[in-house]
Amino acid sequence: MTGERLRDGFWLTVKYIFLAGSLALIIRGFFLIPVPVEGTSMQSTLNQGDFILMEKFSSVERFDVIVFQRPDGTTYIKRVIGLPGETVSYREGQLYINDEKVSEDFLKENLAQDEERLPFTNDFEFQELMGVKKLGKDSYFVLGDNRRLSKDSRSFGAISGDNILGKARFVYYPFSHIRFV
């Protein structure tokens, strides 16, 4: 009888391990996808070498940190500033969406560390920069939080919603950086 119990216990353990592994693969593949952070354009929100978990099932809103892929295959992590149908501009370091001032509280840490007296975000008018009056139906304007060193919509234009892979939700490595985004 003891041999039978051991065999039953062994197969029960194998089933649990298989179930747990399958569940982990489903969660990793479809719900929480690990993504490495490369570059400094999102510093101090995300740092070079951080690993984030990205989810791809919720809708994109202003100031979400997203992961997207450009048509050339390069993957970027940036912050959504402008949504479809909007205009985005900067005047004297102030963000304007559809000509209304908008606060960027997430930049406070970067601005506090900024010892230079140069503009943190160079001024631009949307139509001059983008060549259109407003963002298209499925277009988003993205910027890095480290504005002086970021390659973003100011250089490569708006991104299509089809190119958005998901939203950054959580930094899980290194352990000293663990936090929600």
Superfamily of domain 34-180: Umud Fragment, subunit A (2.10.109.10)
pTM, whole model, 2 decimals?
0.82
Domain edges within the chain: 1-31, 34-180
Mean pLDDT of 54-77: 93
Residue 169: is its pLDDT beyond 80?
yes
Residue 99 is predicted with a pLDDT of 94
Q: Is 78 an annotated catalytic residue? A: yes
Percent of the chain with pLDDT over 90: 55
Residue 172: is its pLDDT beyond 70?
yes
Active-site residue (options: 44, 56, 58, 78): 78
Active-site residue (options: 15, 22, 41, 56): 41
pLDDT tens for residues 94-120?
999 999 999 998 887 777 776 666 777
Q: Is 59 an annotated catalytic residue? A: no
**Strands lying side by side in the sheet with 88-91:** 88-91, 94-97, 100-102
Instruction: Label residue 50 by pLDDT band (50, 70, 90).
Output: very high
